[in-house]
Amino acid sequence: NAGVTQTPKFRVLKTGQSMTLLCAQDMNHEYMYWYRQDPGMGLRLIHYSVGEGTTAKGEVPDGYNVSRLKKQNFLLGLESAAPSQTSVYFCASSPPSGSNFHEQFFGPGTRLTVL
């Protein structure tokens, strides 16, 4: 199992450009999450999904959109990138029940710089 993978690993954007970050998991998890991590701050939840076709806002959703068309994929979109969105983005997944109910599995992260 690959677990949780993220594409791309690094990206540099100019202000106003758009891009999509892809998260994929092969563990058949229902729940998926997008976080951002900034220096001096803990991870903050951007959006999450509790199943295919459903998405919801987290703590810091402004400037981002998400889609969960397939259970294994969770896409994070930046419509018009701003320097404040320079961050490391982590995707995670978790099952809704079972022995791993309490654990979130994280991807390796995407390092995004907006100039």
Partner 1 sequence: DAKTTQPTSMDCAEGRAANLPCNHSTISGNEYVYWYRQIHSQGPQYIIHGLKNNETNEMASLIITEDRKSSTLILPHATLRDTAVYYCIVRVAFSGNNRKLIWGLGTSLAVNP
Of the pair 17, 45, the CB lying nearest partner 1 is at 45
Contact 32, 89 (CB under 8 A): no
Confirm or reject binding of residue 66 to partner 1 (CB under 8 A). Answer: no
Of the pair 42, 98, the CB lying nearest partner 1 is at 42
62-41-35 Cα angle (round to 5):
45
CA distances from 57 to 35, 40, 81 (A): 11, 23, 18
Stretch that binds partner 1, among 14-22, 53-61, 66-74, 78-86 (CB under 8 A): 53-61
Confirm or reject binding of residue 60 to partner 1 (CB under 8 A). Answer: no
Here's the x/- map for partner 1, 90-109, by CB under 8 A: it reads as x-x---------xxxxxxxx
According to DSSP, the residues that pair with 41 across neighbouring strands are none
Q: Could you give the CA distance from residue 72 to residue 62 in angstroms, rounded to a whole number?
A: 24
Binding-site ranges for partner 1 (CB under 8 A): 4, 40-45, 48, 50, 56, 58-59, 88, 90, 92, 102-109
